[in-house]
Structure 1
C-alpha cells in the first residue's frame, strides 16, 4: 500500500514509553508529562498538553480539586462517570438534584473551560470500572470564563467514519462576550474549545480504512500537527496502520506524532488487527 503523505514525518509513541501509576483505585497511563512522571521528550504537542488513559474502580474517584487556565475534557470508553463542578449553581432547594451534576457514559465527552478557576470532582458510582481518556489543551488565552458542556456521539456514526467531537470556538481568540456565551463551534454539532484544536473519534472494522482530513476545514492555520491514539479497549487485538507505512503500525496503548502536514492533507488510518479499532485523532496547530 503506497503512502500519500510522503512529506509527513510519523513518529510512534509506544505504550511502554508512557508514564504509568497504579494507585489501587486508579490505574493511569500518561502520554505526556503529568503528576510525578516527567519526560522532557513528552511535555506537550501543539496545544495538546495532557493525554491520560485512566481506569477508575467502582465507588472510587477524584475528589473535589481545583483547575484553571486549561481546556479539560474526558472521553468515556466504557463504564460511567459522574461529574460535579462549581459551574453547576444551585439556585434553590427546589432545584432538581439532576441539574447539579452530569453523568457521562460510553461514547460521551464532557468538557470544561477552567479559565479563571473551577473546582470539580469525578466519581464512579457504578458497579464496574470506568475507562476513559482525560485530555487537556492549552487555551489561546488565559482568564477565560469557566464553562461546562457535554455531548453524546453514537458508535454507529463512528463506525461510518471519523466523528468530530470538539472544534474551535467561532470568533477565535478575539471572540466577543456574545460569542463566548453562544459557544458556537466551527464544526456544527461539536463542542467549542478555546484552542486551534479538533478532536475526532472513529471505530474502524478490521480490514477497513478511514480518512482524516487534516484541519477538518475548521481552521485558517495551514501548518498542522496530528496526534493519533489507539486506546486499550480490545485486550490487545486492535491494531492500526497510518498512511500505509509499516513503521506506522500502532498497537493498543500506542500513539503517533504526525508532523509536517498541512490543512487539507489526507491521513489514511487502516485497521489491521483482529478486532475493531477505536481511534482518537487530536489535530492542532
Structure 2
C-alpha cells in the first residue's frame, strides 16, 4: 500500500538508456551523453549525467578536462585509479584527495569549477571495474576546483540508507575560506555545490528500507523535490525493488525511477522483492536548479 499517495513515481526502464560497447568500455547512459543524444533525456533537475560504466583491465579515460560540474564516481566492483593533472604515474602522493586507487565502497568527488584535469584508469591486472559516474550542475559557476575521496562501508549500507553527499554548509554565498574548509551540511559526508543529497543502501532480500526526502533537514528547498532512484546491475538480474508499495513501481536491475511531487520529510519505502539483495542509490535534488 502506498504511503505517499501525493507522489508521482515514473519508472525508467533500463532498455531506454543509451548503450555502447567499445570493447574496453561497456557503458549505459541515463541521460544524453557523448555520442548518444535523446531530447527526452537531458537532465532531471540539477542531475545531468548518470552513466553505469564497466572498464576492462589496463584501459580507462586518459587525462581530460572538466569545468563547471560536480562529478563523482561510485565504485560497485573492481578497482579505479584516479590521478589529477599534477599527479603523474610513478609520482603518486599519499594524499588520497590527489591520487587514490578506488575500490568498492569508495566515492571520489570532483568540483570542476573554473577548470581541472584528471584521468581514471583500471590499472588492475585482471578484473574489470564497474562504477557509476554522476554529474550534477552546481549552483554557481567558476568555483575553485577541489577533490574529495571517502569510503562508505557495505556493513552500514545493509543497515539502512547511508548519506554520502550533502550540500556545502556555507551554501551558494560561501567565502573562499569556507570553500577551502569544505564543511558539508552533515558531518562525515562529502560536500556538493548544489541543494542535493546522495545516498546508497543495500537492502537484504525480503527487507525494506525507508528514505527520508531531503535527508530530513539537510536541504534548503523543502518542497517539490526531484528525486531520481537508480538500481545498478550488480546481481545478474536476481534483485528487484518495489517503491512505495506500488505494483506499477517494481524495478529490475538497471532500471531507474523519477520521483516528484514530494517534499523534505516525506518517507519513501524501498522493498527488496527479488532473489538477491538490492543495492540502490538515491539522487535527491531540488526543483529550482
TM-score, length basis structure 1? 0.96
Alpha-carbon shift at residue 85 of structure 1 (Å) = 1.0
Offset from partner CA, 1:205-259 (integer Å, 9 cap, x none): 1110000000002112122111001100000001000000001100000000001
The Cα offsets for residues 165-201 of structure 1, whole Å up to 9 and x where unpaired, read as 1000011100111211110001111000001111000
Measure how far apart 1:106 and its partner are. 0.4
Q: Do structure 1's residue 186 and structure 2's residue 185 form an aligned pair?
A: yes
SS, match of residue 156 in structure 1 = helix
Rounded to whole Å, the distance in 1 between the matches of 2:232 and 2:201 is: 12
Aligned counterparts of 1:252 and 1:179: Cα–Cα separation in 2: 40
Equivalent residue number for residue 74 of structure 1: 73
Question: How far apart are residue 38 of structure 1 and its match?
Answer: 1.1
What's the secondary structure of 1:173's corresponding residue? coil
Distance 2:40 2:4 in 1: 24
Q: Which residue of 1 aligns with 2:250?
A: 249
For 1:41 and 1:256, the matched residues in 2 are separated by: 15
- The residue number in structure 2 matching 1:195 is 194
CA distance, structure 2, for counterparts of residue 25 and residue 89 of structure 1: 24
Give structure 1 stretches of 5+ with no counterpart: none
Report the equivalent of 1:133: 132
2:248 is paired with a residue of what secondary structure? helix
What stretches of structure 2 of length at least 5 have no aligned partner?
none
What's the CA shift for 1:96?
A: 5.6
| Cα distance in 2, alignment partners of residues 14 and 251 from structure 1 | 8
Q: Which residue of 2 aligns with 1:14?
A: 13
What whole-Å deviation, never above 9, does each CA across 1:253-278 have from its counterpart, x for those lacking one?
00000010001000000000000000
**Aligned mates of 1:38, 1:96 — CA distance in 2:** 37
Distance, in Å, in 1 between the alignment partners of 2:245 and 2:139 is 34
Q: CA RMSD in A?
A: 1.4
Matching of residues 114-129 of structure 1 within 5 Å? 114-126=112-124, 127-129=126-128
Partner of 1:221: 221
Displacement of 1:97 in angstroms is: 4.3
Aligned equivalents of 1:124, 1:89: Cα separation in 2:
16
1:131, 1:278 → 2: CA distance?
Answer: 13
Which 4+ residue blocks in structure 1 deviate beyond 6 angstroms? none
State the shift of 1:117 in Å: 0.5
Sort the Cα spacing of 1:96 and 1:15 in 2 relative to 1 into closer, same or farther, 3 A.
Answer: closer
How far the C-alpha of 1:12 sits from its partner, in A, is 0.5
Structure 1 residues 88-135: Cα deviation after superposition (integer angstroms, max 9, x where no partner)? 569xxxx76444521110011000000010111000011200000000
Report what 1:163 is aligned to. Answer: 162
Partner of 1:239: 240
Cα distance in 2 between the residues matched to 1:283 and 1:32:
16
Matched positions, count: 280
Partner of residue 211, structure 2: 212
Report what 2:276 is aligned to.
275
- In the alignment, the residues of structure 1 paired with residue 283 and residue 92 of structure 2 have an alpha-carbon distance, to the nearest angstrom, of 36
Hey, what does 1:105 align to over in structure 2? 103
Aligned position for 1:43 = 42
Shift of 1:39: 1.2
Distance 2:227 2:99 in 1: 33
Q: Following the alignment from structure 1 to structure 2, what is the Cα–Cα distance between the partners of residues 96 and 185?
A: 27
Taking structure 2 as the reference length, what is the TM-score of the superposition?
Answer: 0.94
**Which residue does the alignment assign to 2:262?**
261
